[in-house]
Amino acid sequence: MSNPEIGVMMLALFIFVIMLGFPIAFSLMAMGVGFAFYYFGFRDGPVFALVVRKTFEVMSNEVLLPVPLFLFMGYVVERAAILDRLFRSIQIAARGMPASLAIATLLTCALFATATGIVGAVVTLMGLLAFPAMLRAGYDVKLSAGVVCAGGCLGILIPPSIMLILYGATAGVSPVQLYAGAFFPGLMLAGLYMTYVMGRAIINPRLAPKLPKEETDVPFLKILWMLATSFLPLAGLIVAVLGAIVFGLATPSEAAAIGALGALILAVSYGQFTFAKLRESVYLTARATAMVCWLFVGSSIFSSVFGLLGGQDLIKEWMLALDLGPIGFMLVVQAIIFLLGWPLEWTEIIVIFVPIFLPLLHHFGVDPLFFGLLVALNIQTSFLSPPVAMAGFYLKGVAPPHVTLNQIFAGMLPFMFIVLISMALLYIFPGIGLWLPGEVYGR
């Protein structure tokens, strides 16, 4: 058996192993080391030198430095207890709109996902707060579930997204330009979600009944005060962090540090700062950061051995043999990523499978920044496409007992198709993602 065939077998074996539930990072390292022994002829020296070198390269990668800072910012904001205030104030402010509770949920998810970027946290918190509120108001179970799950996944795309940082480190693309490029696609996707929900409420008002007047009859000045004490502080923190990054006032690491400090100030000002919550935030940040770093170490070792065996060359030759144009190449790759989203999480897709296609971008004339934006949109579907849709399982864990997983999955499917529509719009009108980086950075 030739080396490229061994490389493909290595990739297939990895997918089989992680589907059995083995830890991803250590499975990658074990696969890489095991097949490296095969390539180097069972000599210890080259194998362990490869492991040490790749570990050092990952741990000294400055692009990954904002990851723990943004994670810490998110965990502190999550524990600052402003989500209920934020949801209530937006709900009252949007009282005149069709499906006002669902619109308030999506707006809250978009803002909170921007602050945290942690899908599981946003879906779980909104599942505890907004989902029961919509059910009490008589909203359709499927529509309510879809709104919470889709809104909670926006943090994958909307900056400061951890996924964009990891893609930037993998593809050698500036995270700053990725943030600028993802800004309008993120707003577009959130806007399409809201348009869909309002359209369904207008066509069939029984899906999203209007709230009783006594629940929304709040004086205008009180609404302003509620927004000023919940929406404006968090929005100000996000605008300051993203503005500093996009307009070059601070590096992503510096802006992330400012965001972490701002989150602590918010927690103190809301009276939610305790040593126990700080300790928990630090612990969760350290755990998530260690997972990301070891995942990168494992993927770096795995990818190096996969390349040495000739696996990437074999896949490149296969893609070129299809004789595709740029459109065909993008359709095939995005379809593969979409299918990989069923059994795999976004981290494995970004650090293992996306690098396989990166060398082909130059051949087909595809901008790595534009490719990354399409991938970021596509990754949304990995949380929303059954049977392994993690957003649905997050919601099911906190949903009332009478809400079934099938109802949640059925509610997510329309939003998954909206993601596919947004991908088509971005491909047809690439300026949605490339205009802002072009204006700010002269791309």
User: pLDDT tens across 210-235, in order?
Assistant: 877 766 677 878 878 888 887 888 88
Q: Could you please report the per-residue DSSP string of 223-265?
A: HHHHHHHHHHHHHHHHHHHHHHHHTTSS-HHHHHHHHHHHHHH
> For the residues of 316-332, what is the DSSP string, one character each?
HHHHHHTT--HHHHHHH
Token pair of 436 as six digits: 């802002």
Rank 92-106, 153-167, 418-432 by mean pLDDT and report only the highest.
418-432
* Average pLDDT of the residues in 317-327: 81
Closest by alpha carbon to 148, among 97, 201, 112? 112
Average pLDDT over residues 343-366: 82
The burial class, CB within 10 Å (0-12 / 13-18 / 19+), for 426 is buried
Q: Helices (H) and strands (E) in the chain — how many of each?
A: 22, 0
Instruction: Please give the DSSP secondary-structure letter assigned to residue 349.
Output: I
pLDDT band at 423 (very low <50, low <70, confident <90, very high): very high
pLDDT interval class at 2 (50, 70, 90):
low
- What residues contact 157, with CB distance under 8 A and at least 6 apart? 163, 182, 185, 186, 189, 376, 377, 379, 380
For the ranges 208-222, 317-331, 360-374, the lowest mean pLDDT is seen at: 208-222
Give 45's pLDDT tier (boundaries 50, 70, 90). Answer: low
Query: For 341-404, where are the alpha helices, taking DSSP H only?
Result: 346-348, 354-364, 368-384, 390-396
CB 395 within 8 A of CB 408: yes
The 10s digit of each residue's pLDDT in 138-185 is: 899 999 999 999 998 888 888 878 888 888 888 888 888 998 999 899
- List CB contacts of 349: < 8 A, sequence separation 6 or more: 337, 340, 341, 375, 379, 382
Burial class (CB in 10 A: 0-12, 13-18, 19+), 440: middle
**Gap between the Cα atoms of 180 and 157, Å rounded:** 11
In the three-class reduction of DSSP (H, G, I as helix; E, B as strand; rest coil), residue 397 is classed as: coil
Residue 73 neighbours by CB under 8 Å, 6+ apart: 115, 116, 241, 256, 259, 260, 262, 263
Residue 192 has a pLDDT of 95
- CA distances for 183 relative to 66, 121, 333, angstroms: 18, 21, 23
| pLDDT at site 55 | 80
CA dihedral 8, 10, 15, 20 (to 10 degrees): 150
pLDDT digits (tens, 9 = 90+) for 101-122: 899 899 888 887 776 666 777 8
- Contact yes or no for 233/159 (Cβ under 8 A): no
pTM equals 0.84
Q: What is the mean pLDDT of the chain?
A: 84
